[in-house]
Chains A and B, each alone.
Chain A
Amino acid sequence: MSHFSAVGAAPPIEVYQLSRDYQADTHPQKINLGVGAYRTPEGKPWILPVVKKAEAQLAKDIDAETINHEYLPVLGLDSFTSAATAMLLGKGSPALKEERAFGIQALSGTGALRNGAEFLVQQLKKTVFYFSNPTWGNHGLVFKNAGFTDARTYRYWDKSTCGFNFEGLIEDLQNAPEGAVIILHACAHNPTGIDPSQEQWGKIADVMQEKRLFPFFDCAYQGFASGDLDQDAWAVRFFVERGFELFCSQSFSKNFGLYNERAGNLTVVVKDKSLIENMKSQITLIVRAMYSNPPAHGSRIVDLVLKDEQLYTEWCECIKIMSSRILEMRQGLRERLEKLNTPGQWNHITEQIGMFSFTGLTPEMCQFLLKEKHVYLLKNGRISMCGVTPSNLDYLA
């Protein structure tokens, strides 16, 4: 009798199942608008040229024995975490000047969220967290598995306008219990692509300050959204200027195209720098019991690029290429839909930002697209703009 006879089959995770189904499909005009990974105009994955250069350099360094495969410190490559934290907060940030900010290397964005969530549960005994309705599919799972027991949503997407339900968001935050952790998307909201305006961020900050809510930013697209690193980090920096203590998870999967190297950082901003050593010691224990120390390769690449003036400039160009292509596709899709006199409003396609677009299509419409037209998208109507190319734009519209 097996120990595991009672283990039920878990439902497949939608976004991965979608990829599998797409792979299996033989239709010549199939389009994959599921997973959020950048694609070239030819629909191919893209290894950033600057990343190739960095890897070639690292290979030389291993030969020269200036680097090797030894363990990184538990909290990660120091030079990487400082560079990542500075990239997010801006070199001139008061938090950095006052030494009240630090970074912890993490297993990409997911890992950073998990590390932060574990710390909040274990050290601050947090139980309540909020995520936007809708949000990235994994937010709830990460926090629940970290030990949060009370998952709540704040309104975000307004189905009737295909727009932002800002009033609903504010109301929900007003009603949040003190100390609740609020997951905020720093930019390029996933899945809707709708970001608050600066004034709206101001109001959000007001409510959060008044209600003593804790901001946990998820920044997976810095640079990738608008093409400008500072612009995409505006909201986080604004909260820092407003005096908040906050966590921010950073992913280098998209903006560096390092998806499978799991390069990420958890930025922590505090008021009192004397508490930092204690905090680091506790996070160390959390990391030790999960994976001991982080993988080196991805962080070395990012570190090299962020430190080197020439490579950094090249990287900024790569980001511009990726973000512009997305903007072009958004433009193209909207134009075609409007030209075809497709029922409904389509301005949200260009007003939304980042990799994803919430089309406003119903689950039934999505099923139709999937079954009849071989267009693969999530049943909540989210499409990945990366999957749109000049050659499939017409078919898609």
Chain B
Amino acid sequence: MATCWSKMNKSSSILKRSSLLGQSIPWQPIKMGAPLSARASSWWSGVEMGPPDPILGVSEAFKKDTNPLKMNLGVGAYRDDQGKPFVLPSVREAERIIAQKGLNKEYAPIGGEPEFGRLSANLAFGQGNEIVSSGRNVSVQTISGTGALRVGATYLAKWFPGNKTVYLPRPSWGNHTPIFKQSGMNVDGYRYYDPTTCGFDFNGAMEDISRIPEKSVIMLHACAHNPTGVDPKDEQWKEMSQLVKKRNLFAFFDMAYQGFASGDVDRDAFAVRQFLEDGHNICLSQSYAKNMGLYGERVGAFTVVCKDKEEAARVNSQIKILIRPMYSNPPVNGSRIVSEILTNTALNKQWLEDVKGMADRIITMRQELKDGLANEGSSKNWEHIVDQIGMFCFTGMTPEQVEKITTEFSVYMTKDGRISVAGISSSNVGYLAKAMHAVTK
């Protein structure tokens, strides 16, 4: 085979190990002889185009649109009433305090700082809860909620002694499925959303859950279900907890909106705490992306509630073994902010006000949208807009109606009719009502 460089002469084998100490070896560009393209095609020719991300696609299209009245109701990131990203005052203050401390940049422990884990578990389970005080939780810092789910899924894929299938509510956050599949878990579902009522299909859920094979994993959205905004009522949660127990299922809670849903961190943790009270040793993924507005800092936590401290130690050691080959140890900029807020009484109080402010604005927009539709003369039942909770609203609009509202009114949302209420402001809620009425009447 012809090569474009001369073969090395075997006898000239004394290759001096050049000392790089103190000597600057100039970079020598090597001149190419015959082109290599003749030899081999690229490694990547077989790589196909992956499916476009539906949510990002919405944002892309939105950016290109020149209509001054355009609205982006796609991505789930909070916006203030001027439609701008919101850096929480408590976060800003925490950052200033941290800057003064002159903390170093040394590696964090694999599972993050233990204090961060403890604070996160306490936030979820309630101050003074028995689980943290008896040390039977494993709580590690993760790369936001996604990272927590991935660590959890990987842990279950390796260590869960039962049926390695996770049952997701139908529908669920689009990323749940790839996370679990790529971790090696099977994915299945249980009925959740009732399109006829735009509400919770309680009977359907209970029926399906009662048929889930024993010792399977069931995923539950702790509050502010994504994408529907539909949450079970307290009494329904209680019944679900009993059924999950009866079926001997392992409960995996995803709590991405604690505080953000109702404005009250304890209220939003009701389901999680109910399950704990009922004796479930759950696992939990938490995100601080929304409730602290720390989206890009990637702060989250993964918790496994164990039987006792001894089991927690074993589980902890195994989780670290899974984290190390993923990213070794977590980024601290965001987690330091979280820890500062949760340990500083004044900041904590400020944060609770900040988060209530965000939740209240969302709730107000829901009401105004519903009122706006009524004012437009819509005869449809829009009660679900205010019954649903959290950042998202499943409007009930069909894909055709969504298409229409986008092309005719430059209102951008995902095909399933989901809108991000955070993208609505007092200045454009009227326009949105008009547009929605126009395509649904």
Interface hit among B159-167, B190-198, B420-428? B159-167
Q: Please determine whether A260 and B42 come into contact, CB atoms closer than 8 angstroms.
A: no
Does A312 interact with chain B (Cβ within 8 Å)?
no
Complex: chain A residue closest to B37, CB-CB: A271
Q: Please determine whether A278 and B304 come into contact, CB atoms closer than 8 angstroms.
A: no
Contact of A258 among B102, B105, B175, B307 (CB under 8 A): B105
Q: Give complex CA distance A298, B297 in Å.
A: 10
Could you say which residues of chain A place their CB within 8 Å of the CB of B328? 107-108, 110-111, 138, 262
Interface hit among A24-32, A239-247, A369-377, A389-397? A239-247
Could you say which residues of chain A place their CB within 8 Å of the CB of B175? 288-289, 292
Q: Give complex CA distance A12, B321 in Å.
A: 9
Q: Please determine whether B5 and A296 come into contact, CB atoms closer than 8 angstroms.
A: no
Instruction: Known A114-B327, A262-B330; judge A297-B43 contact (CB<8 A).
Output: no
Taking the closest CB of chain A, its distance from the CB of B352, in whole angstroms, is 19
Does B121 interact with chain A (Cβ within 8 Å)?
no
Instruction: Known A3-B162, A13-B320, A199-B15; judge A230-B21 contact (CB<8 A).
Output: no
Q: Give complex CA distance A18, B350 in Å.
A: 41
Considering only CB atoms and an 8 Å cut-off, how many residues of chain B contact the other chain?
A: 100
Interface hit among B143-151, B226-234, B367-375? B143-151
Further contacts, 18 of them, CB under 8 A, given A4-B304, A295-B333: A3-B250, A4-B314, A7-B311, A16-B109, A37-B106, A37-B107, A69-B296, A71-B75, A212-B40, A238-B30, A242-B30, A259-B106, A262-B331, A271-B36, A275-B42, A286-B182, A293-B298, A353-B21
Q: Give complex CA distance A294, B299 in Å.
A: 11
Interface hit among B48-56, B122-130, B341-349? B48-56
Q: Please determine whether B47 and A279 come into contact, CB atoms closer than 8 angstroms.
A: yes
Q: Mask for A47-91, Cβ within 8 A of B = 1, else 0?
A: 100010001100100110100111110100000000000000010
- Of A203, A292, A327, the most chain B CB neighbours within 10 A belong to A292
Taking the closest CB of chain A, its distance from the CB of B90, in whole angstroms, is 12
Interface hit among A140-148, A302-310, A360-368? A140-148
Contact of B105 among A51, A200, A278 (CB under 8 A): A51
Does B386 interact with chain A (Cβ within 8 Å)?
no
Q: Please determine whether A47 and B104 come into contact, CB atoms closer than 8 angstroms.
A: yes
Taking the closest CB of chain A, its distance from the CB of B43, in whole angstroms, is 5
Hey, which bits of chain A sit against chain B, CB under 8 A? 2-13, 16, 35, 37, 45, 47, 51, 55-56, 59, 62-63, 65, 68-72, 74, 90, 107-108, 110-111, 114, 123-124, 138, 141-142, 144-146, 163-164, 166, 194-195, 197-200, 202-203, 206, 209-210, 212, 214, 225-226, 228, 230-231, 234, 237-238, 241-243, 245, 253, 257-262, 270-272, 275, 277-279, 281-282, 284-286, 288-298, 327, 350-351, 353
Could you say which residues of chain A place their CB within 8 Å of the CB of B20? 195, 225-226, 231, 353
Q: Please determine whether B311 and A206 come into contact, CB atoms closer than 8 angstroms.
A: no
Could you say which residues of chain B place their CB within 8 Å of the CB of A35? 107
Interface hit among B91-99, B259-267, B388-396, B407-415? B91-99
Instruction: Known A68-B87, A69-B293, A257-B105; judge A291-B144 contact (CB<8 A).
Output: yes
Does B382 interact with chain A (Cβ within 8 Å)?
no
Report the 4 A-B pairs with minimum CB-CB distance, sorted nearest first.
A107-B327, A281-B50, A297-B333, A291-B143
Does B68 interact with chain A (Cβ within 8 Å)?
no
Q: Please determine whether B150 and A290 come into contact, CB atoms closer than 8 angstroms.
A: yes
Could you say which residues of chain B place their CB within 8 Å of the CB of A194? 17
Could you say which residues of chain A place their CB within 8 Å of the CB of B162? 3
Complex: chain B residue closest to A283, CB-CB: B50
Could you say which residues of chain A place their CB within 8 Å of the CB of B296? 69-72, 293, 295-296
Complex: chain B residue closest to A112, CB-CB: B327
Q: Please determine whether B27 and A237 come into contact, CB atoms closer than 8 angstroms.
A: yes
Taking the closest CB of chain A, its distance from the CB of B423, in whole angstroms, is 13
Q: Please determine whether A278 and B325 come into contact, CB atoms closer than 8 angstroms.
A: no
Could you say which residues of chain B place their CB within 8 Å of the CB of A62? 87, 92, 95
Taking the closest CB of chain A, its distance from the CB of B145, in whole angstroms, is 8
Instruction: Known A260-B108, A282-B50; judge A55-B92 contact (CB<8 A).
Output: no
Could you say which residues of chain B place their CB within 8 Å of the CB of A111? 326-328
A-B contact count (CB 8 A): 290
Could you say which residues of chain B place their CB within 8 Å of the CB of A289? 146, 150, 175, 178-179, 181-182
- Of A4, A10, A202, A272, the most chain B CB neighbours within 10 A belong to A4
Contact of A231 among B24, B250, B333 (CB under 8 A): B24
Q: Please determine whether A2 and B294 come into contact, CB atoms closer than 8 angstroms.
A: no
Q: Give complex CA distance A259, B281 in Å.
A: 35
Taking the closest CB of chain B, its distance from the CB of A136, in whole angstroms, is 11
Q: Give complex CA distance A71, B76 in Å.
A: 10
- Of B18, B106, B331, the most chain A CB neighbours within 10 A belong to B331
Complex: chain A residue closest to B333, CB-CB: A297
Q: Give complex CA distance A93, B407 in Å.
A: 44
Taking the closest CB of chain B, its distance from the CB of A68, in whole angstroms, is 5
- Of B53, B106, B178, the most chain A CB neighbours within 10 A belong to B106
Complex: chain B residue closest to A268, CB-CB: B44
Taking the closest CB of chain B, its distance from the CB of A318, in whole angstroms, is 13
Could you say which residues of chain A place their CB within 8 Å of the CB of B49? 277-278, 281
Complex: chain A residue closest to B337, CB-CB: A69
Q: Please determine whether B45 and A275 come into contact, CB atoms closer than 8 angstroms.
A: yes
Taking the closest CB of chain A, its distance from the CB of B299, in whole angstroms, is 9
Q: Please determine whether B107 and A13 come into contact, CB atoms closer than 8 angstroms.
A: no
Q: Please determine whether B318 and A10 come into contact, CB atoms closer than 8 angstroms.
A: yes
Q: Give complex CA distance A145, B16 in Å.
A: 38
